[in-house]
Every structure is written in C-alpha cells, then in structure tokens.
Structure 1
Amino acid sequence: MSLSRKRRKELKRLRSSAEELWGVQQDVLERANDVAQEAKRQLGHLTREEVVPRVRTGYESYVRPGVEQAKGYVRVAGSSAERTLGNALGSVLSIGDIANDARVRRAVERISPRAAAVVKEKKGTGVGTYLAIGAGIIAAAGVAYAVWQTFRADDELWVADDEPTPSTSATTSSSTTPSI
C-alpha cells in the first residue's frame, strides 16, 4: 500500500500524538495512585485521632452504663430468685420432714387410722414434688423475665440530643448579640 507523503506525515504526527497522550495518561495514573495512597494514610490518621476517641467516648457514656445497669438487674433478679426458690424448697422439705416424723404419724393414726394407712401406702410423686417443680418453674420464669427486662430495647435510654434547627439558631443568635 502506497501512501502519499502528506498522509505519512499526518500518520506520523498522529502516532507521536497518541504516544504523547499515552505517556501523559501514565503520568496521570501514577499521580492518581500517589494521591490515593496519601488519602489512605491520612484516613488512617483521622481514624486514630478523631473517630476512635469519639467511638470510645460514646461507648463509655451510652453503652457501658446500660451494661452495668443490666448486670445489676441480673444480680438482683438472681439473688431474689435464689432466695425465693430456697425459701420455697426449704418449706417443702420441712413439710416433708414433719410428715415423716414419728410423733406426727402417731397423732394422725389416733385421729384417723385410714389416713395413716393411705400415707404409709403412697410412695412416689406427691404434692411436694409438684410444689418443688412449680417453684422451679416460677423461679426460672422470674429470672427469664428479669433478663428480658434488662436486655429489651428501651427507647428512653437512647434519647438523642436535640440539635437546633436553622430557624431557631438564627433567632437565638440575633437575640443574644453581645453588648460592649
């Protein structure tokens, strides 16, 4: 293919122009890469100096008090459930001890010989067993309720500070002009 001299010159200029553009694009990409690396470094500094302290402060002022309060509620609920369950089981066991006492049996035999025979025959699950199971279920429900109350979303705990709107800040700043 034979090209005229004029066309060859134009193609040569076009090729040199494309090569120059390619070089300029490579320089721009290198500069963009440098800028991106610097932005990444600055973002790391900003995160360490600004974001982390604010998150830590927010945690200390909002989350930690709620967690501490929840721990207190769980401790109180646990000790209350332990006392209640202990009292109930103690009462059930003492009733069982009283029922097994020889003096009580003789008194029951004197009053009603049939009732004493029924008490002697009956071995297995009795009222005391059901009372103990009921007390255990009530204690578990109390602990579950206390835990639920502790960890439920409480809208009143997370009240955001009201920021002044532009209309109220304009009236506030105009009315509070300092006098010299």
Structure 2
Amino acid sequence: MFRSTKVLELGSGYGLAGLVIAASTDADEVVISDGNPQVVQYIQQNISINAETFGQTKVKSMILHWDHEPASEIISSFDIIVASDCTFFKQFHGSLARAVRSLLKHSETSQAIFLSPRRGDSLSKFLEVIKKNGLSCELIENYDPTVWNMHKKYVLGDYRSWPNYNEEHCYPLLLRISRSE
C-alpha cells in the first residue's frame, strides 16, 4: 500500500505512525506534521534518533495548521494521508476536511486513512463535513481481527486491565477518505 508513495501524517503528536510507516514500508517520502511548533521540534528529534531505520525513505517534519492554506508546493502532492484521533474537536472539522481535500493528489488511488472513535456525534458530524467538501468516505468497524477481538472482549468486560472501556471513546473506527470527483 505504501510502496513508492508520498505519505503525510496529520496532527501527529510525536509522530509514531509516521515513524512506523517510514521504518517499515517502502514509501518514497513521509512527512510528519503537527500544528504545534514545540511538538514539531520533538518530531524532528524522533526523526533524527531513528534515521538509520528509514532505509531509502525520506522523512521530514513540518508545521501544518489545518485552518491555513497549505504552501503551494504541497498542494495535491500526497498519495496517502494518515491521522489518528483528530476528529473529536467539531470546530476543526471544516478545516481538517479542506486540508485533506487540498493535500491529496488528484488520483483514483490517493486516500486518507483515519482512525477515530465515535466520541458521541463528533465522528458522524465529521463525516457530514467530509461529504460537503467533495470527499467520500468508507467507515470500517471490523478492519483487523486481532483489534476487533480485543475490542469485543473489552466490551464484554473480560479484561480487568481496562475496567472503564467505553467503545464510544476508545474503539477506533477506520475511515477511508477519497476525492469524490
């Protein structure tokens, strides 16, 4: 899936997903972004510490604010965008959807892959905004047998290690977002 692609991680925190993609796939380039300049400094430190694990993959960090127009050199330039737990703030839904739309390549195979719990109506509201911004979305609940089985056990209360498990806030659903046109 990532072979010879340009990947962007949005709202990455310290960049774990981007670092894993860079270290374990044959992506051409991975850009790990966040809107907080201090966090982006930590991302850059993590990139430097792990540089030898990336093989031929180019890895860099950048400050990216969803509510600002992206720099022209990155518009329509990413094959894959990944994000985790970025849909819970409803006030950012529009800017996040617009960012995804402007950053994804105009290609049948380009897509954004989000992992996000429902968090009340936050996820459903985000899906509405996605459609209004010319994007389509596939919501997948059971995307990995190991994750699904652990989720089911937590729901049934089988694991004492997570006694307050609440699937609305804890179980990440998979969203595949692509351009509608």
TM-score (norm 1): 0.15
Q: Does 1 or 2 have the higher relative contact order (CA < 8 Å, sep 6+)?
A: 1
Q: Which has the larger radius of gyration?
A: 1
Q: Between Structure 1 and Structure 2, which shows a larger proportion of helix residues? A: 1
Relative to the length of structure 2, the TM-score reads: 0.15
